[in-house]
Structure 1
Amino acid sequence: MRIGELSRRTGVSVPTIKYYVREGLLPSGELSSPNQASYGDRHERRLRLIRALLDIGGLSVAAIREVLAAVDDPDRSVHKVLGEAARRMTPRYAEGGDDASLASARDQVRQLIARRGWQVDACNPAATALSETLAALDRVGHGEFAEVLDDYADAADRVADADLAYVARKAGLDDLVEGVVIGTVLGDAMLASLRRLAQTHRSSTMYEG
């Protein structure tokens, strides 16, 4: 297909497609003449992945380039590719100060990881974000929230199993990464909505009537 048809199929403008090619995110089309290039299904698949990483994942062009480099690395395992995509989508929170609350929270997270036998580095961005969240809770007088950390971790394990079972149905590596992006970002929104629905139901049975 020509670049115009690729644009129509994906909803991405021709100038933007050319920009992605220049930035090394999208492979160049195959030249059919000095001024004409042909694009195939692989280009369409990659272009949709780029848009998912950008629009849904909120990644920068530089971060997308790193994720795609991992996808295209034949020596990179699926686990590492998915880890790279997930790592890039983990929010970075502004630290509230390197105080006793944060030190205690970091220790709680390290203990949680060890207790559950999770094969995760304590320096993982998600572990850092969790430490910051626990520290913030402690600073506003709700440090006891950490007592339900294992209950949350139990739920997270079940959600992760569901996530990866869904992703495992994907055939290609591009599909796998896109599944992680969609599942992580939109899955977070879905999980938050389900939590609120469940809270409303539970509170009605506990505090009303």
Structure 2
Amino acid sequence: MRIGELSARTGVPVPTIKYYVREGLLPAGELSSPNQARYEDSHERRLRLIRGLLEVGGLSLAAIREVLTAVDDKEKPVHKVLGAIADRLVPEHGGGEPDAETVLAREKVAQLVAARGWQVDPGGPAGESLAAALAALSRAGHGRFEEVLDAYAEAAERVAGADMAYVSRMVAREDLVESVAVGTVLGDTMLAALRRLAQVNLSARANPAP
């Protein structure tokens, strides 16, 4: 297909497609003449992935580039690629000397990981993100919120199980890593929305209108 048809199929403007090609986010089309290039279904798929990560997931183009680099890495074992993708999708925390709340929060994260037998590094990006949230709750005077941490971990295991069950259906390596990338970003958005809906529902049931 030509670039105009690719634009029509994906809803991405032609200048934006050309920008993605220049920035290395999208492979260049195959030249059919000096001024014309042909694009394949793989280009359409990659554009839809970029658009989803950008518009729904809220990732920056720099973060998307890192995710796509991991997706396209054919040398690493799949498990390491999936880990790299997950790490890049977590906001960075840390830097500087940790305060007392952060030190205590990191200890609680390590204890949680050990108690649940998770084979993860509590000091990795996801662990640091959790510690940052716990530390912020403590500073805001809501340190007792950690009482629901086990319930959150239980729910997270169930959601992760559903994620992996979906991913396990993917046969091709590219399908597998792409499904993790888009599923993690858009799945987080979906999970947050479902949580809000459930909160409103429970509040309405607990406080029925007169």
Q: TM-score range by the shorter chain?
A: 0.7 to 0.9
- Return the alpha-carbon distance in structure 2 between the equivalents of residues 121 and 156 of structure 1: 16
Instruction: Sort the Cα spacing of 1:65 and 1:202 in 2 relative to 1 into closer, same or farther, 3 A.
Output: closer
Confirm or deny: 8 A CA contact 1:49 1:174 kept in the other structure: no
Q: Which residue is equivalent to 2:148?
A: 148
Aligned to 1:166: 166
Letter in 2 for 1:4: G
Of the structure 1 ranges 181-190 and 195-204, higher mean CA displacement relative to structure 2 is found in 195-204
Q: Once the 2 structures are TM-superposed, how far is the Cα of residue 82 of structure 1 from its aligned partner?
A: 2.7
Letter in 1 for 2:19: Y
Which residue matches 1:24? 24
In 2: Cα distance, 1:206 partner to 1:47 partner? 45
| C-alpha contact (below 8 Å) 1:52/1:178 kept by paired residues | no
- Superposition deviation, residue 127 in structure 1: 1.0
Deviations 1:136-155 (A, max 9, x none): 22223322222332221111
Contact 1:52/1:181 (8 A) holds in 2 = no
Map 1:113-152; keep pairs closer than 5 Å: 113-152=113-152
CA distance in 1, matches of 2:48, 2:191: 24
- TM superposition score normalised by structure 1: 0.84
Residue in structure 2 matched with residue 15 of structure 1 by the alignment: 15
Give 1:131 shift.
Answer: 0.6
> Counterpart of 2:46?
46
Q: CA RMSD in A?
A: 2.7
Q: Which runs of 5+ in 2 are unaligned?
A: none
CA-CA distance at 1:11 after TM superposition:
0.9
Distance 2:207 2:9 in 1: 52
Partner in structure 2 of residue 83 of structure 1: 83
Per-residue CA deviations over 1:111-146 (Å, capped at 9, x if unaligned) read 111221212112222211111111122223322222
Count the aligned residue pairs.
Answer: 208
The CA distance in 1 between the partners of 2:59 and 2:190, in whole Å, is 20
Within-5 A mapping of 1:91-130: 91-92=91-92, 98-130=98-130
TM-score by length of structure 2 reads: 0.84
Deviation at 1:61, TM superposition (A): 2.3
Deviation at 1:44, TM superposition (A): 1.1
Tell me the alpha carbon deviations over residues 70-122 of structure 1, each in whole angstroms, 9 at most, x when there is no partner: 22221123323333332222234688983211111110001111221212112
| 58 and 196 in structure 1: CA distance in 2 versus 1, 3 angstrom threshold | closer
**Deviating more after overlay: 18-27 vs 198-207:** 198-207
* C-alpha contact 2:122 2:128 (8 A) present in aligned 1: yes
**CA distance in 2: counterparts of 1:11 and 1:194, whole angstroms:** 27
Distance 2:197 2:61 in 1: 36
Work out whether residues 31 and 37 of structure 1, in 8 Å CA contact, stay in contact via their aligned partners in 2: yes
- Aligned identity (percent) is 65
Letter in 2 for 1:16: T
